[in-house]
Amino acid sequence: MTKVTDGEPEEPAPVAQRLLAAATRLFAEQGYDRTSVQEIVEAAGVTKGALYHYFGSKEDLLQEVYARVLRLQQERLDAFAGADAPVEKRLRDAAADVVVTTIENLDDAAIFFRSMHHLSPEKNKQVRAERRRYHERFRALVEEGQRSGVFSTATPADLIVDYHFGSVHHLSTWYRPDGPLSRQEVADHLADLLLRALRP
C-alpha cells in the first residue's frame, strides 16, 4: 500500500527490503527455526515467488540479516582505519563505532548468535570469513599502535581484539534501549576500557 505524507504519495519500501525487515522481526520474535516462509511473505505483503526471486531460500535471508550489518561495519572500520589521525584516535573511534552499530542492529546480532548453526557449512564459512576480515583490520590498528610504541605490547593483539569483541557479541543479551545507559555511553565505556588495556 502506498502511504501519503504531506499530500505526496510515499513509495513502499523495495520488496527485498520489506522481506528482510519482516524476516528480521519474525526471527527475533519467534526464532529462525519456528518461522515459516509463509509467515515471512505474509508479513512482507509479497508472494513466495518474490522471496525466492530475491533470496532463493529462508537460509539466504538468515545469512543476509547478519551480512548487511557486517558490510556496514566493515565500511565504517575501513574509513576509521584509513583516516588521517593518530592511531589511538582511529582505534577508539572504531571500537566505539562497532558498539553503536551493533546496538542499532540488536535484533540482527541476537538472531545471528542464536541461529548461525542453522546455516549450511558453506554459508557458515562465508560469514566466518567476512567476520575474520573485519577482526583482522581491527587487529591491524592495535598492532600499528604497538609497533609505534603508543600501545603496550604486554598483551598480544589477538587477545586484545577478542576481549573487545567478546563484549560486543554479548550486547544483545543485556542491552535495553530503555536502560540506564545510552548506546553512545556504552560505546564510550567499552572503547575506554580497550584503550586502558593498551596503555603502556
**What b/e readout covers 158-185, taking b as 16+ CB neighbours within 10 angstroms?**
eebbeebbebbeebbeebeeeeeeebee
pLDDT for the residue numbered 114 = 84
- Is the whole-model pTM more than 0.75? yes
* Rounded Cα distance, 165 and 82, in Å: 21
Convert the pLDDT of each residue in 55-94 to its tens digit: 989 999 999 988 888 999 999 999 999 999 999 999 999 9
pLDDT bin (cut points 50, 70, 90) of residue 12 is low
What is the per-residue pLDDT for 108? Answer: 86
Which ranges in the chain belong to alpha helices (H)? 15-30, 37-44, 48-54, 58-81, 87-104, 106-115, 121-147, 157-169, 171-174, 183-198
Residues 99-140 pLDDT 10s: 999 999 988 888 887 888 888 999 989 988 999 999 999 999
Rg over alpha carbons for the chain, rounded to the nearest Å, is: 19
Residue found by looking up cell 522481526 in the block: 25
Q: Is 9 helix (H, G, I), strand (E, B) or coil?
A: strand
C-alpha torsion angle, residues 67, 69, 75, 77 (rounded to 10): -120
